[in-house]
Amino acid sequence: MQNSIPTELSVNGRNFNIIKLLGRGKGGYSYLATDGTSNYVLKQIHHEPCSYYKFGKKIQSELNDYNRLLKIGITMPEMLDIDIENERILKEYIEGDTVFEMVKTDSVKPEYIEQVKNMCTLLYANNTNIDYFPTNFVVRNEKLFYIDYECNDYMEEWNFENWGIKYWSKTAEFLEYLNTH
């Protein structure tokens, strides 16, 4: 596991100052970064073990998944650049609260559930699931964005109705996760 937050990272020779760590996922660390003018998300791929998920080439998977979701029409941040050699991705920064934070404060609106279900309609028609965990969704101006690019072929047990919804309110599963992380 990473011990310290870098102060600067580059993407294809373009330098960015790291403001803070936004989160650590199965495949990488996401940082809030700036070029002095705008804010971005800079994702650094990591190769730490993950017992419940198998990866191929992570950086290529990110690009493939992004293109797949873009074609399907999922609302997500634009991929602005990808540095294959250093395994870094520069994304549009979607400012707003995560659905996870909203669940904690009881502020998830029915419209957000409706928006994720609309995403599901598009995804399922294209034999695709995304990672429905609420840390992967941000609301900006009442619009829901899927801020991760991970997607997989559709499996009923991992769809929103059977798995994801369990974490979009203060269910036993959500509270257990909250207490153990």
* Residues 77-105: tens digit of each pLDDT: 999 999 999 999 999 999 999 999 999 99
Exposure of 2 in the CB half-sphere (CA atoms within 13 A):
17
| Residue 52 reports pLDDT greater than 90 | no
| Residue 156 reports pLDDT greater than 80 | yes
Residues 6+ apart with CB under 8 A from 76: 66, 69, 70, 145, 146, 147, 149
The mean pLDDT value for 114-120 works out to 98
| Residue 177 reports pLDDT greater than 90 | yes
Distance from C-alpha of 28 to C-alpha of 156, rounded to nearest angstrom:
26
What is the residue whose two structure tokens read 């994801």?
Answer: 164
| Residue 53 reports pLDDT greater than 70 | no
| Residue 56 reports pLDDT greater than 90 | no
Higher pLDDT, residue 51 or 177: 177
Backbone φ and ψ for 119, nearest 5 degrees, come out as -60, -40
The confidence score (pLDDT) of residue 27 equals: 83
| Residue 3 reports pLDDT greater than 90 | no
| Residue 1 reports pLDDT greater than 50 | no
pLDDT tier for residue 26 given thresholds of 50, 70 and 90: confident
Q: Which of 38, 100, 28, 37 has its CA nearest to residue 65?
A: 28
pLDDT tier for residue 128 given thresholds of 50, 70 and 90: very high
Quote the DSSP letter at residue 73.
T
End-to-end CA distance of the chain: 15
